[in-house]
Chain A
Amino acid sequence: AQSVTQLGSHVSVSEGALVLLRCNYSSSVPPYLFWYVQYPNQGLQLLLKYTSAATLVKGINGFEAEFKKSETSFHLTKPSAHMSDAAEYFCAVVEGGSEKLVFGKGTKLTVNP
């Protein structure tokens, strides 16, 4: 079965600093990969997705992620953190054959002034 590992349940950065949230997946076939964001007291919103087109995927709010097959990674980055980026971020993969999303456990991002 597919699985997703998010390294670091909590990440803290200063405003203006680089944001790097890590995600590794297990898959024997090319996956579809997603990053979702959950702002406090809200549902999940799609940030970006990889569907086997370009390996560098740009999403909303200045975020991007790079698919690296050799490293089975799909890390999320943003060059300069903003206070409004404080949220919980989930990496997810579509399980081959069933089209079910499998989520990582989430990374809570704190942005310090």
Chain B
Amino acid sequence: DADVTQTPRNRITKTGKRIMLECSQTKGHDRMYWYRQDPGLGLRLIYYSFDVKDINKGEISDGYSVSRQAQAKFSLSLESAIPNQTALYFCATSDSRRTGQETQYFGPGTRLLVL
């Protein structure tokens, strides 16, 4: 089984709909991240969480919200989806307590299309 899983893997939705993307990890890591990838722009950080009670905005948080339900779960919500949120979304984890703490491990991604 994959260490970092994302659901759904693909989603098509309409403008104005609320949508949630979920991320779960079995790595036991304390830190979790949400990124979006757009062609030619690389990955940009949306939100990150260093533990269950520590959630921070990233570079492009407008239009998104997150919830860290447990150490292993980190959800990303689009309250009212718009077409320019069409992108590939990645969840990542890292462990602050170990050597190599700066290394992030990525899930397989969720491809979102907003019509």
Contact = CB atoms under 8 A, between A and B. Distances in A.
A100 B94 CA distance: 10
A101 to B, nearest CB: 6
Interface residues of B, number: 24
A55 interface: no
A72 B94 CA distance: 25
Interface in A37-71: 42-46, 49, 51
B74 interface: no
Q: Which of A42, A45, A105 has the most chain B CB within a 10 Å cutoff?
A: A105
Given A100-B48, A100-B58, A46 B105 contact: yes
Interface residues of A, number: 20
Given A32-B102, A90-B42, A44 B90 contact: yes
Contact of A106 (B42, B90, B94): B42
A106 B41 CA distance: 8
Interface string A1-36: 000000001000000000000000000000010101
